[in-house]
Amino acid sequence: MISSKVLLENGVPESKVAMVLRSWASVLVADPPLFKNAVEEVKELRFHPNKTTFVIAVCAKLSRNSLWERKIYLYKKWGWSEKIVVSAFKKHPWCMLASEDKIEAMMEFFVNRLGWESMVLAKYPALILMSLEKRVIPRAFVLKFLRSKGLIKDGNSAVPFLVSENKFVKKYVNFFEEEASQLLKLYEEKRARVHSLGKRMSIVNKFGQTVCVHKKEKQKEQA
């Protein structure tokens, strides 16, 4: 297969090529000139062929040009420049594989509901791929509770959303001994409730409340 050969010739390990065959086989049957062009563009952005991000970036670049441009336009709508979009793409190329609905929902929640600057998401584009229902909303709920009690400072740090589940529970739930049992109960209830609703609906409204807007389909997300 020409596409596999192109990747190997450009230093992509066989294990990464095999990964593409397993997960994105359709990418390897792309028009050879288009595929080679995508590889060259990714190389120009200084992605390292030994890393998984190289092949992810190639997959993103091979999306329809109109779709790529629409996503750039969407990020610009939230205040990013094209240069910032490219910078975010280099950090986390998956951000250009997210659906337009997913991008819009995450920006809406972080910017309009939590009051963050959109540049925080440009700095940490991995946030865009996280599950709003299973991860972001429940954690934001815990952080809001802790701030209301004066136990943590106000701010829009991305760290609480980026750490693993175990680390989050340890640092933001169990650490506060007097409130730990209540916090854990609230956190688990919020996760269960929002996840249950998220199977059927898109949840976007005032933080701490929900308004349900039916969606035609729900994209798979990172938990």
Q: Are 16 and 55 in contact (CB under 8 A)?
A: yes
| Residue 152 tokens, joined | 């943590």
- Give the pLDDT score at 66: 80
Quote the Cα angle for 89-75-200, to 5°.
Answer: 100
- Give the pLDDT score at 215: 37
Print pLDDT tens along the chain (223 aa): 778 999 999 999 999 988 888 887 777 788 889 999 999 999 999 999 999 999 999 999 988 778 899 999 999 999 999 999 999 999 999 999 999 999 999 999 999 999 999 999 999 999 999 999 999 999 999 999 888 888 888 667 899 999 999 999 999 888 887 777 778 887 888 778 765 655 444 434 444 433 333 333 344 444 5
User: Which phi and psi angles does 193 have, rounded to 5°?
Assistant: -70, -50
Read off the pTM.
Answer: 0.77
- Give the pLDDT score at 203: 37
- Give the pLDDT score at 207: 43
